[in-house]
Structure 1
Amino acid sequence: MDKRLRQKVRRDPSDLRDQYYTPTLQPLGHRFYGASYLQGPDNGQDTPWCYLVRDQHQDGSCAGHALAHLIDIQRFKSWDNTTHDQTGVSADMLYTMAQRQEGGQEDAVRETRDRRTPEGLSSLRSVVKAFYHFGVCPEASWPQGSQDCTLNVERAKHAKSTTLGAYYRVRPYLNDYHAALSEADGILVSAELHAGWVDDAVDPRKYLGHAPDQQGVIPRGRPIVNSGHAFIIVGYTDRGFLVLNSWGLNWGGYDGRPGIALWPYEDWAEHVMDAWVLRLGVSAPNAFQHSIGQQGILFDDRTIKSSSSACHQLLGHYAHLDDGKHVDHGSYESSITSVNMTVDQLAKSAVRRPVVMSVTGSLLGMKQAFQVEVKRSQAIKTMGMYPYAVFWCNDFMESSISVLSHLFQEAVEKVGPHSKNLDRVIERTTSGIGRAFWRDLKRSAQIASAHSGGAALRGAVGLSTGKDGHAAHMFDSFAAVENVDLHLVVDGAGALLLGNYLLSLEDAATTSTEKKRRAQLKQNFFDRVVSLNLIAPSIDFADFHKAYGPLIRALAKKGNDRALLWVPSEALEAKLHVGYYSHSILDLVLYSFEGAPRDHSYVGMSRARSKIAEKIAMVGRSPITSLPGLQVRTIEQPDADRQYYLQTDVNLNAECQARILGILADIQKKI
């Protein structure tokens, strides 16, 4: 069997979130040949479409080549040929990033060409999502067949100039296809192939033996099992659609056009699988963050939009961990390599910009958390600082929230929504699952933040022998960049991740070499960190004092406002709730998930409940245990007339975030 007929793409699964293309009332012609450069020679000059035709060879990357074809057509159509060099986009980048949407491998494998598989992609949706999140660079930056499959800084910057604008799924209706072609010049399509696709009739070197009206026309052929293939449709006639394939110039030949064949309508109706139509976004690489939110700035209390933010809006400015390790697939992947590239860029930059590192909590799912950080990043950039976000438990939050919601409803059904005992019933009902949830969260923080060779962490489940945790590597790497100040902004459960890292720096090493290394890492980190802001951290005072005490004492020597703890006012805290639970998420975690007595508290609770002032005074009797310079600031309720608030109204409070950025700006002026 011809290798080109092997399955490279499968049918898209149904998704109720898909938006479908709706035809307009624009008149349609009897035939459509797409863009002008697909219509044949002009004044005796060579036609540009010949160089458009791609050849995937034996690679399973048809979806990447098909989408690259479609992008090229739209780019070339919009260009003034006298001022632009007509170079194609990288099909390899589109295909590689689409594969990572579906599942990744280890860094050493996934960043070389060896990781590419002949099976192709699970569906067209993956390559469309990859283009949405990462854009695409020119083929010159990522050439076909390149052994280096790393999305490096140069490629990522180039890719921001060619991004996805609008995109719609196309229903398999003939009129919808015709209208979409007329409006957008091309459709990304997948279909099941048959032997007719490799018949002599569609080989320009051999089809002269066929009747003229059959040359370049895909004939009927023997069915082939599992033969999904991606390509684009660029026009139509009264007989069928014009297909632009990625099998080189020795395929097709319809109407004298190498690379293009006629796909009869009856064949289309029988074998088509999926189709997407799209428009490119405006080439404005630095503008897209301004459109996030109704006022284009971070600090907005409005509901977060449901649509996801494109990854390229924060590329180079985030790390994404789950279960203690980098997430190497999906829309928001990261890796040790990506962290190293960011740090390398900071080290090489002629302008030393201070880094604002946001260590997020577990209140939001990954999509929402990413949107928040995209907004925050623009506010930080306008201050001349470098934003960097650390997502580490958001995926776990997404998978757990549905289970907890079910348990909440179960508790309500037991005693009713208005029972005075409802809070206690919810705590009892969720305690089992919640305990496991919180235990796994703490374990993930420990794995991610641990250094190899530590006595206390030796044998910790999930920690690779001889390797530092991925968060530890990240913190260490940023701290190793000389003359770059590091501001830490930590909210909620993010205090667990950073706290475990700080404990690991203090942990007794098992060898003298490791002891020296750990001492140097601690010195680097304490030298680079110039401020610490903790927003409602979900950690008790004993653990907080043990983990953060040394850093707070070091910051006190650098000046005022270097270590700040932000907590809700009593009025705001009294209005916090979680669904039917009439207290904060911190209460639920502490009293249900951790099973703590009622007289216990987190330092992220209100001053009155945490007794934070008294506890700071108590440990302040000795310079070894004191927390000098630690200041407690209050987060007030935005609207006194509002009946309820969520924990996100504390952790993402607009006024609090703005005040923090103002404080950071003042610190930088004094450094």
Structure 2
Amino acid sequence: MAKNTTSLTAKKGRVLNARRDTIDFRDRMYEPPLVEVPTFRDLKEYRTAKVPILDQGAEGACTGYGLATVVNYLLRTRKQKPSDVTVSADMLYRLARRYDEWPGENYDGSSARGAMKGWHKHGVCATATWTSAKKRLTAEVSDEAVHNPLGSYYRVNHKDLVAMHCAITETGILYATANVHEGWDMVTKNGIIPLKEQMLGGHAFSIVAYDDQGLWVQNSWGESWGMEGFARISYDDWLANGTDVWVARLGAPVHISAMASFAVQYSGLAPRSSALSNKELRPHIISLGNDGLLKTDGTFGNDNTDVQEIIGNCAGKKVVLYAHGGLVSEESAVQVLADFLPVFGAAGVHPISFIWHSDFWTTLVNIMKEALGMRRPEGFLDSAKDFMLDRLDDALEPIARTIGGKAQWDEMKENALGATTNKVGGARLVADRLMELVKKYPKTEIHLIGHSCGSVFHAPGTAARLVRGAHQELHPLGAGLHGGSVQNELSAAHRQERRHREICPVYHGRQDRAG
């Protein structure tokens, strides 16, 4: 075999940056049913669905393009109301980077799990609506995307060929990733991928058929690749280099128009796809992570542009900024918002809820992350430590015993204070944007509600910054403050801005000292 160290990226302008999924015990595994599995699935049968061959070009967005092929097939073969729409691969890729296992977006590639999570949380719109990886998740996109929701989905053991054959028989297509080699650039005209030694990188694609020799894949490198966009990877090649497989079904679109339906829709009785409820709640949520910074990943992740859009909807309204208490999970905090959103709406009030992730486990992981240098507070384990999995409980137990309640309280306070005292803190950013809005719309009213540790969240900066120029009130409910911290901040702000003579009443709840 001729030696060739030139990467596929250099030869064809392609980027191979799909990342294998990290270990996650929450994945639901596919269990093969007792159904008769055909000895082969003919590629010609699959091609009758006329699924378009996509071309990602030089973009390293294969996780989005591979999953888009899956969605396109499922839409075209749906028994009721099949559709020939081509969904946006760029949207799926952008959301994959939001939900994968690595913080931020300053890295290359994404994971298959991240793409599946993105589809599950948001649905997916048509290519015509989202044509670039730089586009944002706007209300227009969300409104369309919920009509193409994900239903049930499972991880398939990529080393279990029986399970893979059963899954293809059930759904007709699989979403997969693999480490590819230079043989992928030497595909014969009859679609055979020769097994080569020189590895080039990770890639995502769909598996659409099989025979006794291997698995047929539909790629996203255009029709000029392989056999009009298709190729067969041998079982030896797959078992050596395959990394991830997922199987999925479309969900049923759901239309809910009444505001009173939010809480029910977000509850555990809601349909599996959460895209609809998330779409309605997102304009009322500012998601914050460790140190009070904006949390750009996850279901309600947002960035500076998102915040600007959220605040832009507050012009001339009665705005309530609500900060929940300590030891409150994201799910619980969002459920509170869902419960009260109809009440606020009926009263002509526009609520914005700070979801600052103060629940026990998030706080504990933040402490461990800061102490041990772990990457993301969502259950991620460094792949170098995989051999420790069987001893994970023994390793965590002494750490958990060492980290007591005071450390939890201190960490929560640190995140609460960081949201306003940090120059790039999420609450400080919101307050600054609101002040700009108030200058244009003086009738805007701003009310701060802090429950328990939420009063710590508001006290150091939000109240002081908002006291300049708008009608405002602060309501600490069961406050986690003592010593007049809120009043001191407001008084100092008034002294600095004497030209503004508004009175800011403080409604006292129980002045309990938390901790």
SS in 2 for 1:223: coil
- In terms of Rg, which structure is larger? 1
SS in 1 for 2:180: strand
Q: What is the letter of the counterpart of residue 19 of structure 2?
A: R
What is the rounded CA distance, in whole Å, between the counterparts of 1:89 and 1:357 in structure 2?
Answer: 37
CA gap 1:408/1:470 in 2 versus in 1, 3 angstroms: same
Deviation at 1:309, TM superposition (A): 11
Match of 1:274 in 2: 244
- The one of 213, 228, 245 equivalent to 1:239 is 213
What is the rounded CA distance, in whole Å, between the counterparts of 1:75 and 1:470 in structure 2?
Answer: 41
- Indicate yes or no: 2:312 matched with 1:324: no
Deviation at 1:223, TM superposition (A): 1.8
Deviation at 1:382, TM superposition (A): 7.0
Q: What is the letter of the counterpart of residue 454 of structure 2?
A: G
SS in 2 for 1:263: strand
What is the rounded CA distance, in whole Å, between the counterparts of 1:552 and 1:542 in structure 2?
Answer: 21
Q: What is the letter of the counterpart of residue 155 of structure 1?
A: V
Deviation at 1:384, TM superposition (A): 6.7
Match of 2:178 in 1: 191
What is the rounded CA distance, in whole Å, between the counterparts of 2:304 and 2:367 in structure 1?
Answer: 32
Whether the aligned pair in 2 keeps the contact of 1:356 and 1:487 (CA below 8 Å) is yes
Q: What is the letter of the counterpart of residue 540 of structure 1?
A: H
- Indicate yes or no: 2:120 matched with 1:120: no
CA gap 1:439/1:555 in 2 versus in 1, 3 angstroms: closer
Match of 1:399 in 2: 363
Unaligned runs of 5+ in 2: 1-5, 369-395, 495-499
Deviation at 1:488, TM superposition (A): 4.1
Match of 2:435 in 1: 476
Match of 1:130 in 2: 118
1:197-596 matched pairs, under 5 angstroms: 197-201=184-188, 207=189, 215-218=190-193, 220-253=194-227, 258-284=228-254, 286=256, 289=262, 290-293=264-267, 311-312=278-279, 314-322=281-289, 323-347=291-315, 355-377=319-341, 380=344, 386-392=350-356, 394=358, 398-400=362-364, 431=406, 433=407, 436-437=410-411, 440-441=414-415, 443-447=417-421, 462-463=422-423, 469-476=428-435, 479=438, 482=441, 486=446, 488-501=448-461, 504-505=464-465, 522=467, 524-526=469-471, 529=472, 533-540=475-482, 542-547=484-489, 554=503, 565-567=508-510, 589=515
What is the rounded CA distance, in whole Å, between the counterparts of 1:166 and 1:381 in structure 2?
Answer: 33
SS in 1 for 2:414: helix
Q: What is the letter of the counterpart of residue 525 of structure 1?
A: A
Whether the aligned pair in 1 keeps the contact of 2:479 and 2:513 (CA below 8 Å) is no
- Indicate yes or no: 2:117 matched with 1:170: no
- The one of 130, 136, 147 equivalent to 1:161 is 147
Match of 1:87 in 2: 85
Choose between structure 1 and 2 for higher RCO, CA contacts under 8 A separated by at least 6 residues.
2
Match of 2:37 in 1: 28
Match of 1:509 in 2: none
What is the rounded CA distance, in whole Å, between the counterparts of 1:368 and 1:132 in structure 2?
Answer: 20
Deviation at 1:13, TM superposition (A): 1.9
SS in 2 for 1:78: coil
TM-score (normalised: structure 2): 0.76
Whether the aligned pair in 1 keeps the contact of 2:292 and 2:415 (CA below 8 Å) is no
1:56-71 matched pairs, under 5 angstroms: 56-71=56-71
Percent identical residues? 24
Tell me whether 468-477 or 231-240 shows the greater mean CA deviation: 468-477
CA gap 1:503/1:353 in 2 versus in 1, 3 angstroms: closer
Deviation at 1:232, TM superposition (A): 0.7
What is the rounded CA distance, in whole Å, between the counterparts of 1:493 and 1:35 in structure 2?
Answer: 62
CA gap 1:543/1:533 in 2 versus in 1, 3 angstroms: closer
Q: What is the letter of the counterpart of residue 151 of structure 1?
A: L
Whether the aligned pair in 1 keeps the contact of 2:312 and 2:437 (CA below 8 Å) is no
Match of 2:371 in 1: none
Match of 1:54 in 2: 54
SS in 2 for 1:178: helix
- Indicate yes or no: 2:59 matched with 1:73: no
Match of 2:393 in 1: none
SS in 2 for 1:157: helix
CA gap 1:343/1:61 in 2 versus in 1, 3 angstroms: same
Deviation at 1:243, TM superposition (A): 0.8
Whether the aligned pair in 1 keeps the contact of 2:121 and 2:275 (CA below 8 Å) is no
Deviation at 1:226, TM superposition (A): 4.9
Q: What is the letter of the counterpart of residue 223 of structure 1?
A: E
What is the rounded CA distance, in whole Å, between the counterparts of 1:539 and 1:337 in structure 2?
Answer: 32
What is the rounded CA distance, in whole Å, between the counterparts of 1:22 and 1:277 in structure 2?
Answer: 11
CA gap 1:479/1:277 in 2 versus in 1, 3 angstroms: farther
Deviation at 1:64, TM superposition (A): 0.7
Match of 2:96 in 1: 98
CA gap 1:281/1:88 in 2 versus in 1, 3 angstroms: same
Deviation at 1:19, TM superposition (A): 0.8
SS in 1 for 2:178: strand
What is the rounded CA distance, in whole Å, between the counterparts of 1:443 and 1:10 in structure 2?
Answer: 36
What is the rounded CA distance, in whole Å, between the counterparts of 2:176 and 2:296 in structure 1?
Answer: 28
Deviations 1:202-255 (A, max 9, x none): xxxxx2xxxxxxx1222x2322335221101122233332211101111232xx
Unaligned runs of 5+ in 1: 41-46, 202-206, 208-214, 297-304, 412-425, 448-461, 506-520, 557-562, 569-585, 590-671
What is the rounded CA distance, in whole Å, between the counterparts of 2:116 and 2:434 in structure 1?
Answer: 34
RMSD between superposed Cα atoms in Å: 4.1
Whether the aligned pair in 2 keeps the contact of 1:241 and 1:262 (CA below 8 Å) is yes
Deviation at 1:502, TM superposition (A): 5.3
Paired positions, count: 462
